[in-house]
Amino acid sequence: MKRGAVHSLLLAFALVLLQACAWDIAATTAPKSASPPKSGEIEIVEAPVEPVFMRGFSRISECEHTAVGALAREDGTVYGSGVLVGASHVLTAAHCTEGITPYWFISGGEFFKIRSVIVHPYYKIGEVIFVDLALLRLDAPCPATPAPLPQEGYQVARGDDLTAIGYGGGIRRKSNPGVFWYYGTLVEEPTLLKILPLDGTVWFGDSGGAIYDNSGVLVGIISSLGTARGHLYENSATRLDLFRDWIISAMEDTPCN
């Protein structure tokens, strides 16, 4: 065989080997496509599960019920609730100011610095909480419409529908219609409205939040929930009909400048 023919044969053989190697490389580096779904196969995506304390409540946006805001530490961490009752004044539960001074009131997504705190003089008698109420003064006016206080002589009637708004579990939420209703006031705890947690309950973070009657009047400030042997048996809110005069007096005694 002539040398030229041998060279041609070797060249052709080399090209065949190169093509085979190229196919091997492509096969190993090409992305593998997913197997097609089987006939009738459906991908199931589980819906997020709401926390148990959201039973009877609905989430609300920062643009709704802006008189009710959050209390936050200096770093912005939300830990409780408050209710705007004047351009620069917020009501909350006194126990929300014990051990930590609230730094911010957050309404409509805006932060308002808290300048001072006035705790009701009968907050505690001995070590027992009696009037769980405090008034906060803001550094600047908040543009939200303040919640209306009850008129003198106003009382909630037993069985009246109520609405709770606060930051239970750190979630801005509102009780659904018909879930909250006024049960009564105990002789040994005359400063509190009692609500039975049958269809929903206030929760940690709701303290200082609002209890409205069915006409939109602010009748209570959320104070506590009662538990026994791991079971909830009552919700409590400080009655504002008893302390309307103290609230107005405290607001007038704290200058806005």
Q: Are 226 and 232 in contact (CB under 8 A)?
A: yes
Q: What is the pLDDT of residue 38?
A: 57
Per-domain residue ranges for the chain?
Answer: 66-146+244-252, 161-239
CA–CA gap between residue 142 and residue 90 (Å, rounded): 10
Q: Are 203 and 183 in contact (CB under 8 A)?
A: no
- pLDDT tens column, 76-106: 999 999 999 999 999 999 999 998 889 999 9
Q: Burial of 205 by CB count in 10 Å (0-12 exposed, 13-18 middle, 19+ buried)?
A: buried
Class of domain 161-239: mainly beta
Q: What is the pLDDT of residue 2?
A: 46
Q: What is the pLDDT of residue 255?
A: 52
CA–CA gap between residue 136 and residue 92 (Å, rounded): 8
Pick the CATH number of 66-146+244-252 from 3.90.1150.10, 3.30.342.10, 3.30.420.40, 2.40.10.10: 2.40.10.10
Q: Burial of 108 by CB count in 10 Å (0-12 exposed, 13-18 middle, 19+ buried)?
A: middle
Q: What is the pLDDT of residue 12?
A: 44
pTM for the whole structure: 0.80
Q: What is the pLDDT of residue 152?
A: 87
Select from 229, 206, 175 the least CA-distant residue to 55.
Answer: 175
Residue 21: phi and psi, rounded to 5, are -65, -40
**Would you state the structure tokens that stand for residue 63, as one six-digit string?**
């643009």
Per-residue pLDDT for the chain (257 aa), expressed as one digit of tens each? Answer: 444 444 444 344 443 333 433 334 334 444 444 555 555 566 666 667 789 899 999 999 999 999 999 999 999 999 999 999 999 999 999 999 998 889 999 999 999 999 999 999 999 998 899 999 999 999 999 999 999 999 988 989 999 999 999 999 999 999 999 999 999 999 999 999 999 998 999 999 999 999 999 999 999 999 999 888 778 889 999 999 999 999 999 999 865 44
Q: What is the pLDDT of residue 13?
A: 41
